[in-house]
Amino acid sequence: MTIILRSILGTLFFVSLFTIAARADTFEFLNFTPPSGWTMHNAKDGVVYKRATGIGAISFYTSYATTASAAAEFDKMWRARLGSIVPGVAPVPKFDRSGDYAVAIGGQQVNAQDATVSFSMVTFVGRGRALGVVTVTAGDEVQREVTAFLNTVSIGSGTASATNSADTFEVEFDVPSGYLSKRESGMIVLTPVTVNDETPCAYGVAAARSSSGNLESDARSAVNDVVPGWQIKNERYEAMKGVAAAGWPYYWFRTDVQRLAGSSYEYATVMTMALPASTGRVNIVWGAGNPARCLLDDVSFARLFHSLRPRGWTSDGGKSLTSAIQGTWRNSQSVGMAQYKFLPNGKYEYGIGTITRLGIFETTASSASDGRWELRGSELIITPNVRGRAPSKYRVRVYDEFVAGRWTRAMSLLDEASKPALEVQYMRVEQ
C-alpha cells in the first residue's frame, strides 16, 4: 500500500494542490515514464500520448480476457489496430518473458509522402489478460524518444481489470470516465487522468474481507487499511447509509487523516464504504483526496456507485428503492427552490420558484407541472404531461446523511445529459 500512497497522496494532495494536472505513469498493470513534452488524451478504448510536433503517438489499449498465446494475440491486435494502415500481413514478432507475462514485440516501416513512418506493437499476455501498446513515429529524434520510453516500461505487481475478475474481489464495477485502473497490493486503484474539478479524488476497491456483521464498523475499521501510517485527525466525521437500487445495503464513512512528515503534518480526506459480499464477508470501496477540493461524493463517485455489482447478490427488483423514493423532496438554493412529490400510484408533482434581484428590486417567479415516474434499476424516468416533451432520465440514490451531528434523509439525482454531468441533492420534506 506504500506505493499506492506515494502515487495518490503525493501526486493528488501535495504536489499539484489545485492547479497542476497529474501525469499518469501507469496503465493497468504497466508502469512507464512518458516522453517529456508529450500530452495524454483519453481514447475510446484506452489512452494515447501525442508529441506536440511531428509524427509521434503512443497508444495503450485496454486489456481483455484471453486464453490464447502471445503470438496469436500479437497477430490479432496487429490486424485490428494496424491492418488497415500498414499493408501486408503482420510482422513476425520477437518474444520475451517477464514473470507471468509473455511479451511479443514487432514492427514495420511504411514510406508515405517522402517520409518513413515506423509502426511497432508490444503485446503483453498473462494472468488471463492481453494488453497492447502501439507506437507510431517518423524521424530519428522522435524514434529516439519512443525507444527511451519503451525502455521504461515494466510490469507492476497487479493484474489488469476494469471489472474485477480475481476471486478475492466480490464486486464488479465500471471504471468512471477520466480514470485509469490498476491493481496494486490487493486493491484496484482508480486514479484520475487529470486532477480537476470533475475528477478531484482517487478511488479504489479492496479485496473482500471478513465482516464484523455491522457495516458501520466494517467501514470505520477499513480506514487504517486504506491509509496505513496515517491517523484519524479528530472525532469529526460524516456518513451516509442506504440501500442501492438492487437492494443491497451500504454504509459510507468520511473523515480527515494526518501524518507527521518531517517537522510538519500532511493532511488528507479518506472515505470507506462497506457493502455486502458473500456470507460473512464484506466489500470495501474507498476514496482519498485533498481536503480542500475532494469531498468524495462527486460525479465520479456517483458513477462508480451506480455501477457496483456485488457478486452473487440477488436483486429485490427495486422494491426498496421504489418505496424509499415516494414522498416530497426539496432542493433549496439562494436563487430559488425546486420540489418533487412522488406518489405511490406512479404520478409526480413538480414545482419550481426563482428569485431575481436587481439592486433593491426583487422579482419572483414560479411554475408547476406533473406527470408520471418509474424506476428501471437505478434509473429514474420522469415523463411530464406535456405533449412533445421527452422524458428526463436520472440515476437516483436515496440515503440517510449524517452531517453536523444529525441524520437527514436525502435523494441525489445524477444527470448525465447535463454538460458537464451534474448530481443534484434533494432533502426529504416530512409532511
pLDDT: which is higher, 302 or 147: 302
Predicted confidence at residue 354, as pLDDT, reads 53
Residue 180: pLDDT band (50, 70, 90) is confident
Residue-range domain boundaries for the chain: 30-155, 171-310, 319-429
Q: Are 180 and 193 in contact (CB under 8 A)?
A: yes
Rg (CA), the chain: 25
Q: Do domains 171-310 and 319-429 have the same CATH topology?
A: no
Question: Which numeric CATH code is attached to 319-429?
Answer: 2.40.128.360
From 8-17, 134-143, 155-164, the region with the lowest mean pLDDT? 8-17
Question: Which numeric CATH code is attached to 171-310?
Answer: 3.40.1000.10
Predicted confidence at residue 336, as pLDDT, reads 74
Q: End-to-end CA distance of the chain, in Å?
A: 49
Residue 375: pLDDT band (50, 70, 90) is very high
Q: Measure the CA–CA gap between 197 and 318, rounded to whole angstroms.
A: 32
pLDDT tens profile 96-139? 887 778 899 999 988 876 788 999 999 999 888 899 999 999 98
Topology of the domain comprising 30-155: Protein Transport Mog1p; Chain A (3.40.1000)
The closest of 204, 251, 255 to 232, measured between CA atoms, is 255
Predicted confidence at residue 167, as pLDDT, reads 41
Residue 8: pLDDT band (50, 70, 90) is very low
Q: Measure the CA–CA gap between 345 and 107, rounded to whole angstroms.
A: 64
Which residues, in sequence order, are CB contacts of 121 under 8 Å at separation 6+? 74, 77, 78, 81, 82, 93, 104, 105, 106, 107, 132, 133, 134, 135
Predicted confidence at residue 9, as pLDDT, reads 42
DSSP calls for 119-187: EEEEEEEETTEEEEEEEEEESHHHHHHHHHHHTT-EE-SS---SS--STT--EE--PPTTEEEEEETTE
CB atoms within 10 A of CB 247: 16
Give the residue-averaged pLDDT of 370-393: 93
Q: What number of residues does the chain have?
A: 431
Cite the DSSP H helix spans in 6-69: none
Q: Is the pLDDT of residue 353 over 90?
A: no
User: Distance between alpha carbon 326 and the CA centroid of its chain, in Å?
Assistant: 30
pLDDT tens profile 322-345? 999 999 999 987 567 899 999 999
Cite the DSSP H helix spans in 61-214: 70-81, 140-150
The whole-chain average pLDDT of the chain stands at 84
The amino acid that residue 141 corresponds to is E
Q: Is the pLDDT of residue 356 over 60?
A: no
Q: Are 74 and 134 in contact (CB under 8 A)?
A: no
Q: Are 304 and 172 in contact (CB under 8 A)?
A: no
Q: Which three cell numbers stand for residue 187?
A: 486493491
pLDDT tens profile 185-215? 678 889 898 888 889 999 999 989 999 999 9
Predicted confidence at residue 281, as pLDDT, reads 93
User: Distance between alpha carbon 230 and the CA centroid of its chain, in Å?
Assistant: 24
pLDDT: which is higher, 393 or 84: 393
pLDDT tens profile 212-266? 999 999 999 999 888 888 899 998 999 999 999 999 999 999 999 999 888 889 9
